[in-house]
Amino acid sequence: MNSFASPQTLTALPFSLQKDDLYTRLFDAILEQRIHAQSRFTEESLAQMFGARRSDIRGVLTRLSHQQIIVLKPNHRPRVASLDREQTRQTLHARRLTETTLVQLACERRCRQDWKPLHVLVEKQRRCSEQGPAIRLSGDFHLQLAEMAGNAPLAQFLDSLVPLTSLAIAQTQLQEEKYCDWQVHGKMLDAIERGDALDAERLLTGHLDSLENMLLNSPSESSKNRVAS
């Protein structure tokens, strides 16, 4: 598959796009391997695919570049990054340090927050998981929880880590391992609402440990670059 933005592809993947969700739709296409590390695409081909202006596509690609999801180089086509094991390991280590603090802060603020949006997100993740791994929704849970913890710098830092984890999950084909974590998210949320920081931290650590084991012990590096049909 040398040309991602072929007429057949554009026909198979019609999008009715609003500007605000362009980032979400493009990132979903990456996580679902419709755009992958071997895809050849340009701003123009993506603009055609998503029914967007090239300037808007450029802005989304720049944002994804800052998150290390897309590689942008002068005089080269954009491309999806290929993550190595060490980068994934360091990302998960940074997430542990960051999210442990955020969970503690969330427990302290539990009485001042309306946690219903997170319950809704967990339910949405559960429904989506019936058809396949809800990778982006899983990341959204952690990011929304970080926002509700009330520390903007830590939440912003986590926003640079979660997309990388999501990309690593997609590239190691955890779909085949029936990757699913909405149950853990539900239990974490219950613990936070009780103010049980120890239990919430235990669940978080176990979740990240399990994820690290799956990501760093995948069968082979070549599986990262297989194309999902």
- pTM to 2 decimal places: 0.81
Q: Residue 51: which CATH number?
A: 1.10.10.10
| pLDDT (0 to 100) of residue 61 | 96
Average of per-residue pLDDT values in the chain: 85
Residues 33 and 93 in one domain: no
| pLDDT (0 to 100) of residue 174 | 52
Contact 211, 165 (CB under 8 A): yes
Residues 182 and 116 in one domain: yes
**Residue 165 above 90 pLDDT?**
yes
Q: How far apart are CA 58 and CA 52, in angstroms?
A: 10
Name the band, by pLDDT with cuts 50, 70 and 90, for residue 220: very low
Residues 92 and 170 in one domain: yes
Read off the pLDDT of each residue in 114-140 and give the average, rounded to a whole number: 90
Name the band, by pLDDT with cuts 50, 70 and 90, for residue 112: confident
Q: Which of 61, 80, 99 is the last residue before a domain boundary?
A: 80
Residues 42 and 114 in one domain: no
**Residue 224 above 50 pLDDT?**
no
Residues 101 and 163 in one domain: yes
| pLDDT (0 to 100) of residue 19 | 55
High-pLDDT (> 70) share of the chain, %? 83
Residues 104 and 55 in one domain: no
Read off the pLDDT of each residue in 2-28 and give the average, rounded to a whole number: 57
Q: Specify if 1 maps to a domain.
A: no
Read off the pLDDT of each residue in 97-101 and give the average, rounded to a whole number: 97
Q: Which of 92, 196, 214 is nearest to 142 (CA)?
A: 92
| pLDDT (0 to 100) of residue 72 | 95
Q: How far apart are CA 210 and CA 215, in angstroms?
A: 9
Q: Which of 80, 109, 126 is the last residue before a domain boundary?
A: 80
**Residue 226 above 80 pLDDT?**
no
Contact 146, 113 (CB under 8 A): no
Q: Tens digits of per-residue pLDDT, 38-56?
A: 888 999 999 999 999 999 9
**Residue 23 above 90 pLDDT?**
yes
Q: Where are the alpha helices (DSSP H) in 51-115?
A: 54-66, 85-108
| pLDDT (0 to 100) of residue 49 | 92
Lowest mean pLDDT segment, chosen from 141-145, 148-152, 204-208, 213-217: 213-217
Residues 218 and 111 in one domain: yes
Phi and psi at 79, nearest 5°, equal: -150, 155
Q: Which of 35, 53, 80 is the last residue before a domain boundary?
A: 80
Residues 143 and 43 in one domain: no
Residues 71 and 99 in one domain: no
| pLDDT (0 to 100) of residue 37 | 86
Q: Specify if 188 maps to a domain.
A: yes
Q: Which carries the bigger pLDDT value, residue 164 or residue 175?
A: 164
High-pLDDT (> 90) share of the chain, %? 67
Q: Which carries the bigger pLDDT value, residue 135 or residue 177?
A: 135
| pLDDT (0 to 100) of residue 20 | 61
**Domain range for residue 189?**
85-225
